[in-house]
Amino acid sequence: MQILHGTWIPEADDTFTQNGAFYLWVETTEQHRFRQPSQRHPHQLVATDLAELLTQLGIQPPNYRKLADFISPQYFLLPTVDNQPLPSLELSRYLELELPESFELQYWQIDCYKTVAAAKTGGYVNSVVSLLNDLHFLALHNLAEIQLGTDLLFWFHYTQALKRIIYRDQYIPALKYRQLEPTADPQKSQTKTRSKKTNRNPNPNPNQNQNQAKGSRFNSLHTSQFDNF
């Protein structure tokens, strides 16, 4: 029996928008023996066997490339006992093993397939939503000797719920960080405009002020002449 697992692995960078990719890997009842010491998972499908299984499931690589080009080793922190990784809950039923209550966590190297598709504008995009639909259909109708792990089932139901939200709200969600500029307080701006209006000169014509000054000077001259007379 073969158990399909998968998870989202983000890229290790310090950017605000953290990119990543979704990776698939397969756990099998057969045990591989690697040279010791080795951190390779003994119950995994190695790269060649993984590419063969994905081809049988109808998974096609983008741009007519080989599936092996998108298979790379990744590291997972898994429960470990006696320097051996514990099988998943699904695989333990086929192996008829009782899982211990106490264990340690250790990193194990696993060959994984990066789920991508060719974009119309060039490059690659994530194609995990459609791929999870196909894998769930195959496992549900027993069209292949595969079973979805609980981790892959979680991502399947998560993407289905996200699709319903997008379809219901009819929008494409996007998160973009941008810094907003500070805006002025409307009450303060109103007080400033009022103070400017009160301080404004009620007589805006400068010629009128000059005429008033000349008239007052003329009156003072006349009064002084009459006094001397």
Interacting residues of 50 by C-beta distance below 8 A, sequence separation 6+ = 25, 26, 67, 71, 111, 113
- Taking CB atoms within 8 Å and a gap of at least 24, the contacts of 146-150 are 146/1, 146/2, 146/3, 146/4, 146/26, 146/57, 147/1, 147/2, 147/3, 147/4, 147/90, 148/3, 148/4, 149/3, 149/4, 149/5, 149/6, 149/27, 149/88, 149/90, 150/88, 150/89, 150/90
**Would residue 202 count as lying in a domain?**
no
Q: Does residue 191 form part of some domain?
A: no
Q: Is residue 186 part of a domain?
A: no
* Cα→Cα distances 95→72, 92, 109, Å: 27, 5, 22
* Token digits of residue 126: 């994530």
Q: Which domain holds residue 32?
A: 2-169
The pLDDT score that the predictor gives to residue 224 is 44
| pLDDT single digits (tens) 96-147 | 888 888 888 999 999 999 888 777 777 777 778 888 888 888 888 876 678 8
Domain membership of residue 221 (yes or no) is: no
Q: Is residue 21 part of a domain?
A: yes
- Band (pLDDT 50/70/90 cuts) for residue 225 is very low
- Digit-coded pLDDT (tens) for 168-199: 877 665 666 667 677 766 566 565 555 555 55
Element (H, E) at 217: helix 206-228
With a cut of 70, say whether residue 20 has pLDDT above it.
yes
* 199 vs 29, higher pLDDT: 29
What DSSP line would sit under 59-92, residue for residue?
Answer: ---GGG--GGGGEEEEEEEEEEETTEEPPPHHHH
| Domain presence at residue 209 | no
Q: Residue 12: its pLDDT value, please?
A: 79
- Torsion angles phi and psi, residue 195, rounded to 5: -65, -35
Q: Is residue 217 in a domain? A: no
Q: Is residue 192 part of a domain?
A: no
Instruction: Give the chain's domain count.
Output: 1
pLDDT tens digit sequence for 47-73: 899 988 888 888 888 777 888 888 999
